[in-house]
Amino acid sequence: MQCSIPPQTAVTRAFPPFDLAKLLKTVFEPQPGHRLAILIDLENIRDVDEFAFLKNPRLSIQKHAYEQFYIPLQESVLQSLGLQGGDFYAYQITGGSNLDLPDEARTPAGKTVSLEKDVYPHYDIILCISTYSATAPLTAFAKRYGFRGATLHGLNEIILRTGLAVNYEEVSREAEKLRLGMTHATWAEIDFEVDGQSHTLHLDLGEQEAQKSHGLCRGNQPAVANLPAGEVYFVPTGAEGTFPMKYEDGTLGLMRVTEGRVIRADFLRGNSATIQAHNEKLASDSAVGELGELGFGTQILPPSGCDIQDEKIRGTVHVATGRSDHLGGSLTPDKFKEKSHATHDDILFSPTKTPEILVKEVRMLRHGKLETLIEAYQPSHYLNSLL
């Protein structure tokens, strides 16, 4: 699933050149002797043999993993940071966001290995540069085997030049300021407009402690960062209402939410078969529609055409359905009726990804006071005043 590059990517902000050594040092603060590995996904893992996948122009994400990470590690970065390893592995593409990873992997030398026996226990830092997000499964493995890591799915040129070139010390500080201004909220509401009709989604937050994706993954505690980072998020305790959704094929549907779950999708425009397939999935497995995240971007970045960066842009909002265990939620893969359903799917609302859908307002009740967070994809005065 390659990301589509948006036509407008200019942002009035200067970015330094991408520096892998600086990124690794800032994010992980690695110690001399720490071992590092890179994971990629391929439809045919034998294409990693002697890096044969580099001949396929469609595999731009995997090519970036080789050119922007593996080669610099071998040439200078490992030595400059005192690291070891820099080894490269490929696993079978999962076909869905945050589905569990297969155990079998392969090296460029043509050796078949077990991720759980030969990789996870033997590295301190693991970078997963893949087509589909692996944050949820890799987080679970990190807790089990004690490594730290980062997921960088959908990596493209814009992300390399911007979202991975920023100073993550600053990103972390800003994310914390915004988190403190949003934590312990009672509820949030999102007002949408599509095809001249208004819809509202109400999400109960239960005055929980807001969490942040801020890019720093330091110390001895196992954890996995999602890069680019820059997000404040919650795991909703309940939800009611309706919200529009744009499917990958451009179809628009209206999601009807009851007791924290999408129970049905109504056709708005596009391909009615897409809506029918979604409804069949919702009917067959109730866990599929559970709302497991409400997230807000915290950074000033250009849109990349890929959710991993675009959901981190201040003024955007996203909800997600599916597994939430990696965010502190209770929906784990075993609660789905089919293994292939156990995804975590972000539904991003932004002016570039969903121009057909207007987010008129996002508001939040916090400490008994109503605060506006976003108006027409622009961060509110309140949100900006927190920085």
Q: Report the distance separating Cα 362 and Cα 137, nearest Å.
A: 31
H-run or E-run covering 23: helix 20-28
Tell which residue, 211, 89, 213, 225, has the closest CA to residue 148: 225
For residue 187, how many C-alpha atoms fall within 13 Å in the half-sphere facing its CB? 11
Q: 244 Cβ partners below 8 Å, 6+ apart?
A: 192, 194, 199, 252, 253, 254, 255, 268, 357
Classify 156 as helix, strand or coil.
coil
Tell which residue, 356, 358, 368, 363, has the closest CA to residue 380: 363
For residue 228, is the peptide bond before it cis, meaning its omega torsion is within 30 degrees of 0? yes
H-run or E-run covering 173: helix 168-180
Q: Is the dihedral of CA 53, 139, 160, 23 positive or negative?
A: negative
Q: Report the distance separating Cα 110 and Cα 106, nearest Å.
A: 6
Q: Report the distance separating Cα 169 and Cα 217, nearest Å.
A: 11
Digitized pLDDT (tens) for each residue of the chain, 387 residues in all: 547 655 444 455 789 999 999 999 999 999 999 999 999 999 999 999 999 999 999 999 999 999 999 999 999 999 999 999 999 999 999 999 999 999 999 999 999 999 999 999 999 999 999 999 999 999 999 999 999 999 999 999 999 999 999 999 999 999 999 999 999 999 999 999 999 999 999 999 999 999 999 999 999 899 999 999 999 999 999 999 999 999 999 999 999 999 999 999 999 999 999 999 999 999 999 899 999 999 999 999 999 999 999 999 999 999 999 999 889 889 999 999 998 998 989 999 999 999 999 999 999 999 999 999 999 999 999 999 999
SS (H, E, C) 266-320: EEEECCHHHHHHHHHHHHHCHHHHEEEEEEEECECCCCCCCHHHHCCEECEEEEE
Reading phi first (left if > 0) and then psi (alpha if -120 to 50, else beta), residue 350 is in beta
Tell which residue, 322, 318, 173, has the closest CA to residue 262: 322
Q: Are 201 and 242 in contact (CB under 8 A)?
A: yes
